[in-house]
Structure 1
Amino acid sequence: MPSSVLGNLGASTAVVQAAQSLFTNGVMSHTGHANLSARVDGQSMLLTVDGQVRDLSPNRLALVGLDGTVVEGDLDPSNAEIVSMHSEVYRVRPEVGGIIHTHSPHLLAFAMAGRELACRYEALLRFGQAESVPVVPWAPRGSERSVSGIIDVLGQHPGTQAVLLGNHGALVLGRDPLHAASLLTVLEEAAEAELAALPLGGAVDFPASALADVRASMARARA
Structure 2
Amino acid sequence: MDDKAGMNEAQDQVRLSLVEAAIRLEDAGLNRGSTGNIGTRFGDEILVTPSGVAVRDLTPESMVLLGWDGGKIDEDQPEQPTSEWRFHRDILATRAEFGAVVHCHAPHTTALACLGRDLPAFHYMVAVAGGIDIRCTPYALFGSQELSDLVLEALEGRKACLMANHGMIACDTTLERAIALAIEVEALAGIYLAALQVGTPNILSADEMAEVLAKFRDSGYGRQAR
- TM-score, structure 2 as length reference: 0.81
| Alignment match, 2:29 | 26
CA contact (8 A) 1:14 1:178 kept: no
Q: How far has the Cα of 1:93 moved from its partner?
A: 0.6
| Alignment match, 1:163 | 161
- Give the superposed CA RMSD: 2.5
* Amino acid of the structure 2 residue aligned with 1:22: L
| Alignment match, 1:17 | 20
Q: How far has the Cα of 1:5 moved from its partner?
A: 6.5
| Alignment match, 2:143 | 142
Cα distance, 1:150–1:211 mapped onto 2, change above 3 Å: closer
| Alignment match, 2:80 | 76
- d(CA) in 2 for partners of 1:85, 1:214: 28
Q: How far has the Cα of 1:147 moved from its partner?
A: 1.7
Identity of aligned residues (%): 26
Q: How far has the Cα of 1:124 moved from its partner?
A: 4.1
- d(CA) in 1 for partners of 2:154, 2:118: 12
* Amino acid of the structure 2 residue aligned with 1:59: E
CA contact (8 A) 1:130 1:211 kept: yes
* Amino acid of the structure 2 residue aligned with 1:12: R
> Aligned to 2:40, which of 38, 45, 50?
38
Cα distance, 1:53–1:36 mapped onto 2, change above 3 Å: farther
- d(CA) in 2 for partners of 1:153, 1:145: 12
Cα distance, 1:149–1:212 mapped onto 2, change above 3 Å: closer
CA contact (8 A) 1:23 1:54 kept: yes
- Deviation string, structure 1 residues 47-102 (Cα, Å, up to 9, x no partner): 1112445233312201111211101233337x2x3221210111111111111111
Corresponding residue SS for 1:38: strand
| Alignment match, 1:100 | 102
CA contact (8 A) 1:111 1:168 kept: yes
* Amino acid of the structure 2 residue aligned with 1:197: A
Instruction: Count residues with an aligned counterpart.
Output: 210
Q: How far has the Cα of 1:185 moved from its partner?
A: 0.4
* Amino acid of the structure 1 residue aligned with 2:164: G
Is there any run of 5+ residues in structure 1 with no aligned partner, and where? none
CA contact (8 A) 2:130 2:213 kept: no
Corresponding residue SS for 1:70: coil
- d(CA) in 1 for partners of 2:87, 2:219: 36
Corresponding residue SS for 2:170: strand
Q: How far has the Cα of 1:195 moved from its partner?
A: 0.8
| Alignment match, 1:184 | 182
Corresponding residue SS for 1:37: strand
- d(CA) in 2 for partners of 1:97, 1:218: 19
CA contact (8 A) 2:119 2:133 kept: yes
CA contact (8 A) 1:47 1:62 kept: yes
- Deviation string, structure 1 residues 182-203 (Cα, Å, up to 9, x no partner): 1000000000000111233343
CA contact (8 A) 2:64 2:72 kept: yes
> Aligned to 2:196, which of 195, 198, 201?
198
* Amino acid of the structure 2 residue aligned with 1:15: L
